[in-house]
Chains A and B, each alone.
Chain A
């Protein structure tokens, strides 16, 4: 799963986004923490997230995916090997801690007291915040040796971090992403992605929101990134399901359908049953974004949502 193309250019969408954020604060659906993109969630908001989570499970259960539960952090050595810093250095969040002695502690306290930057002494730990739910999975799968003939399918959910502070409530810095990840032959993973392109549209259509599916690219960094993004589009490796939330022209990516070819399979050395390099694909569900789209289209009072939509989310 990933984010939509780029920051808003004109001023009117910005104010529409801020207006929606203010409305969510006013109604108590999200809680302001003082940091853009970092919000508390009300019970009402969580109720929608959980209902949507169960809806995904209803659509996906027939495939019998293996659930794995990772905390929202990954090993720094594995993160380094993942190549994330090549592609998205601007989004990564590393965890640092104080590792000094008593004298260093005194310095730190003095800096804090004086309102100076006290973070200079913080040292990188072995943990990096998870940037996408599927990142911790590949090295885990690689350790299990060659895939079975049918390949493998996993069901993941994680809080993810991306450093892109914004007044757009749909662009959070800490948010949940659920993913199904298919690992196998090119045919197996492409069939998986096709299935979810269909299912995702049927599922979101049942929630009474306008949507479209479009070709997309990840926000790769710099000039090299421009090339990676163009290649990704030219080869149709990424599609997004878009729902207008605060802008019709720049609808929000709520689901993404990603085919990585053999990128992760060769990076982590995952062989298929016949020894070829495994291909991978994932479908990602932006949990908060879907909830925000529902609140936008059906109102902030879930009791007043259309009966058909309520029936899908909270079946009796």
Chain B
């Protein structure tokens, strides 16, 4: 899942650095994730993992780091299963 998230980051988030150079804890907003890019990221993650982020997860914290994204997806795929 971690690699898949990094791939999607590279495709959608338009960061000035490669996702491979970021640690799991690195702050994505600090790394250059804009508000509009985070929407693209959110939609691509939903597609790739077949999930739908509920309204209360549509905020900066959910997409703050690779680790945060990972735990959000884990939470959603668990409840779906």
Q: Which A residues have a C-beta under 8 Å from some C-beta of B?
A: 83, 86, 223-224, 226-228, 230-232, 234-235, 263
22 residue pairs bridging A and B, Cβ less than 8 Å apart: A86-B36, A223-B55, A224-B39, A224-B42, A224-B43, A226-B58, A227-B35, A227-B39, A227-B58, A227-B59, A228-B36, A230-B58, A230-B59, A231-B35, A231-B59, A231-B60, A232-B35, A234-B60, A235-B35, A235-B60, A263-B34, A263-B36
Interface size on B, residues (CB 8 A): 11
- Cβ contact of A226, chosen from B35, B43, B55, cutoff 8 A: B55
Given contacts A224-B39, A226-B55, A226-B58, 15 further A-B contacts (CB under 8 A): A83-B36, A86-B36, A223-B55, A224-B42, A224-B43, A227-B38, A228-B36, A230-B58, A230-B59, A231-B35, A231-B59, A232-B35, A235-B35, A235-B60, A263-B34
CB-nearest residue of chain B to A234: B60
Q: Nearest residue in A to B62 (C-beta to C-beta)?
A: A227
- Majority SS at the chain B contact face: helix
Q: Which of B6-49 contact A (CB under 8 A)?
A: 34-36, 38-39, 42-43
Please report B residues at the A interface, Cβ cutoff 8 Å.
34-36, 38-39, 42-43, 55, 58-60
Q: How far is the CA of A228 from the CA of B43 in the complex (A)?
A: 13
Contact B38 A231 (CB under 8 A): yes
